[in-house]
């Protein structure tokens, strides 16, 4: 039986997006927390340390704001190691700036959507698909 | 709230003034939309932190703006880069990163930014007027600009800082709005030993404690008898912005908004600082356990002022160093250092002057397995372990100099 939620599109992606869901259980700082070349979660104190965000539908309960998070996300996009989609509990203008700049550079990039963190867990481990109207299904 | 752009802003975003200006305006507008800002506001100046190399995509972005004919619309100083272009010090950055970092610095120069390459632009002649809106990056510069100068900026990061500078506009949001600049927390120092408050280690320690306690709230520091001076405020703000997301503080009787009565009186919390809290904060600034030897001293985060160089020269008193002192500063200080003969004296003693950059943002220190770095900077103490691999020991400038002369740890006094 499938599940579906209605998210709010923050940044539209350049193509239909889908991938295995990676649901983080704690907020993450992209700068210092995610390796910009590979997408590996590099912060040893993070519960999902060692997992890789590349190609996954990444559910973020929160972000810890270094102002260089946008630079890391842009590096991931360029390296082909970005998540397939980013689902955020709250819009984070600094992180999402990485996608805004990727769009300006003409690089294909993932979409970003807003969805309450209480609704993230149901997608854990499933193959999630993102639709243009903001629907997330699995 | 829905963002409304003016006809002129829409035209620029549509390409009326070239591709580079259009990109910048669209980035500012998209950010404003995500932040929930109702409009864009004009800015008087910018300080750009985005020219520090983190990866090739940042270089390619800056070069795209140059190719699109973009130029900054307001006075824009540059924060540190990854290279020392003055040749004062040797940066151990290898190719191809070195070349990409150099290209990035060149692209920002081509956009019309001033080649200040300093994290203390406010001591290099860039001091926006009280109450003016600006777009500044680099956390210590943001805090100083808001708190000590009373100009208004949010914490602008990579990409958005240069986009605002080119567009000449910023989202009307956060600390640009008077109602968000009022203090909600009192940080009271009246119970602190006055001898400690007068010592040169006090303000980095207090800043570090303030940032940790207060997070991203706006606070007012109370209970001090005298203005601690500009270099102390600089050290306090830098340490506070390292340990917390501090963008603005007020200081009773000292900072301009506090003096003007604009710091607010509706406090929701009070932190009464005790000597025990100060001792604990001081302890957290060090990660090294009382080592016998030290490998290097680093000072100058934020970049050293002339007055701070004078203090270094006075404490050194003509002696030679056993381990190097890395003294980080901006190129704006170099001509006066040379005119006075201070540069020659210090370098002959073994001081390594680092300009345009600093030891925690690019590899300058000798790579060591278990190096020990001593510093009087709360900001260096915070970032050195993660960024250099050295463990760190926080102490006064006098103790740093005595230890560097002997090569062994020298700590004076009771604290």
CA distance A1 to chain B (A): 34
CB B74 within 8 A of CB B311: no
pLDDT score at A39: 96
For B382, phi then psi, to 5°, come to -70, -45
Nearest to B207 by CA among B241, B251, B181: B241
Q: Do A71 and B160 touch (CB under 8 A)?
A: no
CA distance A97 to chain B (A): 7
Nearest to B70 by CA among B29, B11, B19: B19
**Which chain B residue has the Cα nearest residue A32?**
B386
**Which chain A residue has the Cα nearest residue B61?**
A105
Q: Do A75 and B34 touch (CB under 8 A)?
A: no
Q: Do A104 and B27 touch (CB under 8 A)?
A: yes
Q: What is the DSSP string of B309-345?
A: HHHHHHHHTTPPPSS-EEEEE-GGGHHHHHHHTHHHH
Q: Which of A67, A69, A101 sits opposite B27 (nearest CB)?
A: A101
Task: Kindly list the residues of chain B whose beta carbon comes within 8 Å of any beta carbon in chain A.
Answer: 23, 26-27, 30-31, 34-35, 49, 54-58, 60-61, 64, 137, 139, 155-160, 245, 386
pLDDT score at A67: 73
Q: Choose the mutation target among A66, A90, A103, A104 for the interface with B, i.e. most B CBs under 10 Å.
A: A104
Q: Which of B23, B158, B245 sits opposite A70 (nearest CB)?
A: B158
What the block records as the tokens of B332 is 């704006």
Q: Do B34 and A77 touch (CB under 8 A)?
A: no
Per CATH, the architecture of B7-177 is what? 2-Layer Sandwich (3.30)
Strand order in the sheet with A4-6: A4-6, A135-137, A127-130, A17-23, A57-60, A85-88, A112-114, A8-11
Q: Do A75 and B30 touch (CB under 8 A)?
A: no
How many residues belong to chain A? 138
Q: B7-177 with B296-406: one CATH topology?
A: yes
Range of the domain at A64: 4-137
Residues from chain B contacting residue A94 (CB–CB below 8 Å): 157, 160
**Which chain B residue has the Cα nearest residue A98?**
B159
| A67 labelled catalytic | no
ipTM of the complex: 0.92
Q: Which of A68, A77, A96 sits opposite B54 (nearest CB)?
A: A68
User: Residue B62 forms beta bridges with which residues?
Assistant: none
Nearest to B231 by CA among B308, B309, B329, B342: B308
The strand pair at B372-375 and B391-394 is best described as parallel
pLDDT score at B413: 62
Question: What's the pTM?
Answer: 0.94
User: Residue B152 forms beta bridges with which residues?
Assistant: B133
CB B82 within 8 A of CB B88: no
d(CA B402, CA B396): 10
pLDDT tens column, A36-57: 999 999 888 789 999 999 999 9
CA distance B65 to chain A (A): 10
Which alpha helices (H) appear in chain A, and where do they start and end?
Answer: 30-33, 69-79, 93-105
pLDDT per residue, tens digit, chain B (415 aa), is 799 999 999 999 999 999 999 999 999 999 999 999 999 999 999 999 999 998 999 999 999 999 999 999 999 999 999 999 999 999 999 999 999 999 999 999 999 999 999 999 999 999 999 999 999 999 999 999 999 999 999 999 889 999 999 999 999 999 999 999 999 999 999 999 989 999 989 999 999 999 999 988 999 999 998 999 999 999 999 999 988 889 999 999 999 999 999 888 788 899 999 999 999 999 999 998 888 899 999 999 999 999 999 999 999 999 999 999 999 999 999 999 999 999 999 999 999 999 999 999 999 999 998 999 999 999 999 889 888 989 999 999 999 999 999 999 998 864 4
CB proximity list for B66: less than 8 A, separation 6 or greater: B20, B107, B110, B111
d(CA B52, CA B58): 9
d(CA B76, CA B137): 11
User: Residue A114 forms beta bridges with which residues?
Assistant: A8, A88
Q: Choose the mutation target among A31, A66, A86, A94 for the interface with B, i.e. most B CBs under 10 Å.
A: A94
Q: What is the CATH number of domain B296-406?
A: 3.30.499.10
Catalytic annotation, pick one of A29, A38, A66, A68 = A66
Residues from chain A contacting residue B160 (CB–CB below 8 Å): 70, 94, 97
Number of structural domains, chain A? 1
Q: Do A74 and B61 touch (CB under 8 A)?
A: yes
Nearest to A60 by CA among A96, A36, A35, A32: A96
CB B200 within 8 A of CB B65: no
For B260, phi then psi, to 5°, come to -85, 0
pLDDT score at B235: 96
Domain ranges of chain B: 7-177, 182-284, 296-406
The strand pair at B269-272 and B351-355 is best described as unpaired
């Amino acid at each position: 039986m499938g599940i579906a939620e209605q998210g709010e599109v923050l940044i539209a992606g350049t193509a239909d997006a889908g991938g295995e869901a990676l649901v983080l259980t704690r907020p993450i700082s992209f700068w210092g927390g995610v390796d910009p070349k590979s997408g590996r979660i590099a912060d040893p104190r993070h519960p999902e340390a060692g997992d890789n965000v590349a190609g996954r539908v990444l559910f973020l309960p929160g972000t810890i704001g270094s102002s260089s998070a946008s630079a890391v996300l842009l590096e991931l996009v360029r390296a082909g190691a970005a998540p397939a989609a980013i689902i955020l509990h709250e819009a984070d203008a600094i992180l999402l700036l990485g996608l805004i700049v990727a769009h300006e550079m003409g690089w294909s990039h993932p979409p970003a959507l807003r969805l309450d963190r209480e609704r993230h867990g149901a997608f854990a481990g499933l193959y999630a698909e993102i639709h243009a109207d903001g629907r997330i299904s699995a | 709230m829905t963002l409304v752009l003016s006809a002129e802003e829409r035209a620029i975003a549509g390409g009326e003034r070239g591709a580079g200006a259009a990109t910048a305006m669209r980035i500012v507008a998209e950010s404003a939309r995500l932040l929930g800002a109702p409009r864009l506001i004009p800015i008087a100046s910018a300080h750009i932190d985005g020219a520090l190399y983190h990866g090739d995509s940042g270089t390619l972005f800056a070069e795209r703006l140059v190719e699109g004919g973009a130029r900054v619309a307001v006075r824009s100083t540059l924060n540190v880069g990854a290279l020392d272009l003055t040749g004062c010090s040797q940066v151990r950055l290898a190719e191809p990163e070195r070349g990409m970092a150099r290209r990035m610095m060149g692209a920002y120069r081509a956009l019309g930014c001033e080649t200040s390459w300093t994290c203390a632009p406010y001591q290099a002649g860039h001091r926006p007027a009280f109450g003016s809106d600006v777009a500044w990056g680099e956390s210590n510069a943001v805090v100083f600009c808001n708190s000590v100068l009373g100009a208004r900026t949010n914490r602008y990061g990579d990409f958005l800082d240069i986009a605002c500078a080119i567009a000449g506009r910023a989202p009307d949001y956060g600390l640009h709005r008077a109602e968000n600049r009022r203090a909600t927390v009192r940080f009271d120092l009246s119970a602190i030993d006055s001898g400690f408050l007068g010592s040169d280690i006090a303000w980095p320690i207090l800043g570090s404690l303030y940032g940790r306690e207060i997070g991203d709230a706006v606070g007012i520091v109370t209970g001090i008898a005298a203005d601690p001076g500009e270099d102390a405020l600089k050290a306090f703000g830098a340490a506070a912005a390292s340990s917390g997301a501090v963008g603005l503080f007020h200081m009773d009787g000292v900072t301009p908004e506090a003096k003007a009565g604009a710091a607010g009186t509706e406090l929701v919390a009070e932190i009464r600082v005790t000597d025990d809290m100060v001792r604990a904060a001081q302890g957290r600034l060090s990660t090294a356990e009382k080592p016998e030897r030290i490998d290097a001293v680093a000072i100058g985060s934020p970049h050293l002022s002339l007055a701070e160089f004078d203090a270094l020269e006075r404490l050194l008193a003509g002696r030679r160093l056993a381990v190097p002192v890395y003294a980080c500063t901006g190129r704006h200080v170099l001509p006066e250092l040379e005119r006075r003969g201070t540069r020659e004296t210090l370098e002959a003693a073994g001081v390594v002057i680092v300009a345009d950059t600093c030891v925690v943002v690019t590899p300058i220190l000798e790579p060591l397995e278990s190096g020990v770095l001593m510093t009087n900077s709360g900001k260096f103490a915070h970032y050195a372990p993660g960024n250099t691999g050295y463990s760190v020991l926080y102490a006064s400038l006098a103790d740093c100099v005595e230890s560097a002369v002997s090569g062994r740890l020298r700590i004076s006094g009771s604290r």
